[in-house]
Amino acid sequence: KFTINGIYSHETSRLGLSKKYQLGTGNKTENLGHTVTIQLTWNKTSNQFEGKWYVQTNKYRGNDKFQLKFDGRHLSANLNSDDKSLGFTISGGIDKPVHSYFTSIIISYIYENVLIDGVEQLKLYDIILRVNDIDITNMKQETVVDILKRSGEQIKLVNKMR
């Protein structure tokens, strides 16, 4: 059994987590003295949390660095559209972050009853990573919209699924 306590600081863009392991015996819980402290900092360039961890037990002390990777499958979808609309809208970008320091381009709305091939593979809040082999992870929203508009009838998207 363990508990996790966390505090996020907007000033430093850091998330501090403390995890304490405990041993439960019947109605009694005792602290084993094993604490893991994790400090995460949002990296605007890579759109990932990077951090340090520190472990302390009665017999061991140590620390190391790591990068937190978000779980998710990558999806490649080919869209065929002879219309001006792709059947979805986007949010985000380095100029219009969805949340503080979250600048990824996400699918924010999918229109119902759209007959564009490939849209059924997209899910709300999927992160768009590439459009026709163009990396869009650190672009302005308007730039991404222009890329989508200029893509023609065949558009290849690479998404990170939620």
The domains of the chain are located at: 2-68, 74-160
Could you tell me if 138 and 157 are in contact, meaning their C-beta atoms sit under 8 angstroms apart? no
**Residue 52 clears pLDDT 50, i.e. is over it:** yes
Do residues 124 and 155 lie in contact, with contact meaning Cβ atoms separated by under 8 Å? Answer: no
- Given a cut of 90, is residue 66 above it in pLDDT? no
User: If you compute the radius of gyration of the chain from its CA atoms, what whole number of angstroms results?
Assistant: 21
**Torsions phi, psi for 21 (to 5 deg):** -90, 140
What topology does CATH give the domain 74-160?
Answer: Pdz3 Domain (2.30.42)
- Residue closest to 3 by CA, chosen among 43, 27, 42, 31: 31
147-162 tens-digit pLDDT: 988 887 777 887 776 5
- Residue 16: the pLDDT is 60
Residue 99 CA to residue 125 CA, distance in Å, equals: 13
pLDDT digits 0-9 by tens, 77-121:
666 665 567 778 899 999 998 877 788 899 888 887 665 556 667
pTM above 0.85, yes or no: no
